[in-house]
Chain A
Amino acid sequence: MNKRWKVFQHSSDYRFTPYIMAGDPCEEATIELSLALEECGAHALELGVPYSDPLADGPVIQRAGMRGLAQNMNLEKTVKLVAKLRERGLKIPVIIFTYYNLLLQLGENRFLKLAENSGVDGVLVPDLPYEESGYLQEMCSEHNLALISLVSPTTREEKLAKLSREAEGFLYCISSLGVTGVRSEFRAGLDDFLKAAKRNSRVPVLVGFGLSTREQIQQFDGSSDGFIVGSAIVKKIEELESDLLTNREEAIKTFKSYIESLLPVYSR
C-alpha cells in the first residue's frame, strides 16, 4: 500500500470520492477540475476514460464520454494526464476507471507500467467481474496498484464476504441496480448489504451510483466509510462546458461552490 492510500485509509472523515471524465470538456479543464475537487476536500479521485460502448453507464456519463472522444482522449493519454496532475500538486489517490477493451488494446502490461510511473494508485474496470480478473489482479499487485472491486446488492453472500476480505484501496458498493446516474430513491435493504460488506472489509467501504444531493449522502454516513459521486458532478461539468473552455476561472469558481453545496459539512 502506498503513502497516498495510507492517508486515504487512515482518514477519519466521511470520505468523498468524485468521478470525472478525462478530456471533458478538454484536458486542461480536467486538470483544473481535479485540483478544485481536492481543494474542496476530495479524498480520492476517479478518472473515467472515454469509450464508445460504456455499458455500465447512464446517459450523463455516456455524453461526457462522447465529449472526451471528441477531444481524442484515450487510455494512454488519461494515464499521462495523471502524471501532469502530480506535477501540479495533486496528492490524493487517483483511480483510472476504464472499460476492459481499452485496457486490452493498450496492453495490460504496458498500461500497468505506465500507470505505476505516472502516479496512478488504482484501476477500476466495470465490465471485468472477479471471475475474469485473475491475471489483472496479479499484475496490479506487481505494479503496486489497487484493483478496485465492485460489489452489488445482487452479489451472493459468500462472494461478497470474499471480495470484501480481499478488497484493496476501497470497496465499491453499488447502491442500486442499473447503470450510473442520478436516482431519487435507493434500494430497500441497502443498510444490511453495506453492513455485510463492512463486516469483512479491511479497507474503507464506499457507496456509489445515484448519489446527487447532500441529503442522500448523509443518509449513508454511519453505514459506510465514504461515498462516490459521478453523474451529478459530470452533469454540472456539462452545464459549465462553454465556460470551462473559454472562461475557466469563473467556471471553476462556480464548480467549487456547487461541490461545497453537495458535501456534508463534516465530510471535509
Chain B
Amino acid sequence: MTTATVPDHRGRYGVFGGKYVPETIMFALEELETAFDEAIQDKEFNELFQKELAIYSGRPTPLTRADRLSEYNGGASIYLKREDLNHTGAHKINNAIGQALLAVRMGKKKIIAETGAGQHGVAAATVAAKYGLSCKVYMGKEDIRRQALNVFRMKLLGAEVIEVTSGSQTLKDATNEAIREWVAAVEDTFYLIGSAVGPYPYPKMVKQFQQVIGHETESQFKEIHYEKLPDAVVACVGGGSNAIGMFAPFIEKEVPLYGIEAAGMGVETAQHAATLSKGSNGVIHGSLTKLLQTSEGQITEPYSISAGLDYPGIGPEHAYLHETKRVTYEAVTDEEALQALKLLCENEGILCALESAHAVAYSLKLAKKMRKDQHVVVCLSGRGDKDVHTLMEFEEGGE
C-alpha cells in the first residue's frame, strides 16, 4: 500500500514531518537517530524492552469482548484492547519505558518531559524512578491547577514539576518550554517526548515503542477468530501515540482504520481540538503537520473536555495517513464521549479515560451500521480514575 516508504531518509511522511528546530539541538537529533536505529537492530535491547513491558507493566494487556455493551448497542460486536490495565493506567508507559531504556543505553542521566493532563508526566517520572534517572516535568500552570492529583503523584515519584507560565499555560506551552530546556541542557539531557509528535526521529521512535498495542491485538484477535482480522479498528487521536501504535500492523493490511479527534463543543464552534478536520499545514514543536492556527500562522488554543486530546497539532504520520486517506479521521464531541463513558461503565464495569471514551463513542456509532457477525476493535488507551473530578464537576454543573 501507500505507506511502505515513509518516513524517508529526511524524516518525511509525504510533505509532513522533518526537523524544524534550532541549530543547537540538530546534533542531538542525529545522535538520537543513530542510537535509536542501533538499539532496534540489537536483539538484546529488544528482549530487554519486551521483558520490561511484561514484568513491569504487566503486558500483554487483554483483548476483552464487551458482551453487554455490544448487545445493548446492536450491530457488530465490540472488543476492547485494555491499555488501561498497564502499570500507571495508560498506554503512555510503553513509550516511556522504551525511551528510558534508550536514554540509559546512551549514557544520559537526566530526562525531561512535557505533560498536559499529567499522564505522560507520571509515566516519565515512573521510569525515571525505576531506572535511576533525574526527571524534570514541564507542565502548564493552568494544567497544574486542573490536575493536582497527578502533580502530587509525580512529586511522590521523585520528579521535579516545573510550572510553565508562558503563552496559554497549557500543553503546547509546556512542550515549548521543554524544548527550550533541551536546547540549554542538550549535552547531557534526554528529552522524553510523550506522543507521536516532535522533530524526526521522535514520531518514528514513539510508533516503534507503541506498536506492541497493535501487534498484541492482531495475534489475540486471530487466536479468537481463526486467523481472521478485525473488520474495523478505532483509536482516539490527540498527538496520536496510542492510535499509531494500534494501527501500525494493520496499515499495510485491508483493515478499515478510524482515528477519532475531539470535537469539543462541536467542530462548527471555536471550541474543539479537531486538528485534521479543521487545521491547516504548518510547523509546531519541530514538525510540519496539520495544526490549528490563524490565517497569519499564530497557533490557537484547542478545547476538549479531555486534556489528553487538547493539543493544537497532531503527529506527522497521522497527517500523512489522513492525506492519503488510508485512515478515516472523525471527530466526537464532549457530550458523545461522556455518554459513551457512562455506557461502558454501566454495561461493562470499566471506567475508561475521557480520551478513550471518544474512541468508544465512535465505535458504538460504527458498530450499529455493521453486521452482527462483524467485529470492531477499539483501543481503550487509559483508565478514567484521573477524570473522576472532571466527571463530578460536569455532573454537578450540567444537571
Residues of A within 8 A of B (CB): 51-56, 58-59, 62, 69, 74-76, 99-106, 126-132, 150-156, 174, 177-179
Contact = CB atoms under 8 A, between A and B. Distances in A.
A105 B282 contact: yes
Given A53-B176, A177-B183, A106 B19 contact: no
Contact of B24 (A53, A101, A154): A154
A105 B295 contact: yes
B119 interface: no
Contacts of B285: 55
Given A101-B297, A105-B293, 19 more contacts: A51-B297, A52-B298, A52-B299, A55-B285, A58-B180, A101-B284, A102-B296, A104-B283, A105-B295, A105-B296, A105-B297, A106-B296, A127-B22, A127-B286, A129-B22, A154-B186, A174-B23, A177-B186, A178-B180
A51 B172 CA distance: 13
B27 interface: yes
B23 A55 contact: no
Given A101-B299, A102-B297, A179 B283 contact: no
Given A53-B167, A62-B166, A177-B185, A131 B296 contact: no
Contacts of B24: 152-154, 174, 177-178
8 contacts: A51-B298, A52-B298, A69-B298, A75-B296, A150-B22, A154-B27, A174-B23, A177-B184
A100 B283 contact: yes
B21 A129 contact: yes
Contact of B167 (A52, A126, A155): A52
Interface string B164-184: 001100001100100110011
A130 B186 contact: no
A112 B24 CA distance: 26
B24, B25, B166, B167: which has the most chain A beta carbons within 10 Å? B24
B187 interface: yes
Contacts of B27: 154-156
Contacts of B187: 154, 177
Contacts of B157: none
A131 B180 contact: no
B282 A178 contact: no
B20 interface: yes
Contacts of A126: 22
B278 interface: no
A73 to B, nearest CB: 10
B75 to A, nearest CB: 43
Given A55-B179, A75-B297, A105-B293, A129 B284 contact: no
A76 B297 CA distance: 11
B73 interface: no
Interface in B125-184: 166-167, 172-173, 176, 179-180, 183-184
Contacts of B21: 127, 129
Nearest to B173: A53
B18 interface: yes
The 8 A-B pairs with the shortest beta carbon distances in the complex, nearest first, are: A178-B184, A105-B297, A152-B24, A52-B298, A102-B297, A101-B283, A101-B297, A74-B296
Contact of A56 (B166, B173, B183, B298): B183
A207 to B, nearest CB: 14
A104 B295 CA distance: 10
Contacts of B167: 52-53, 62
Given A105-B282, A156-B27, A131 B19 contact: yes
B23 A53 contact: no
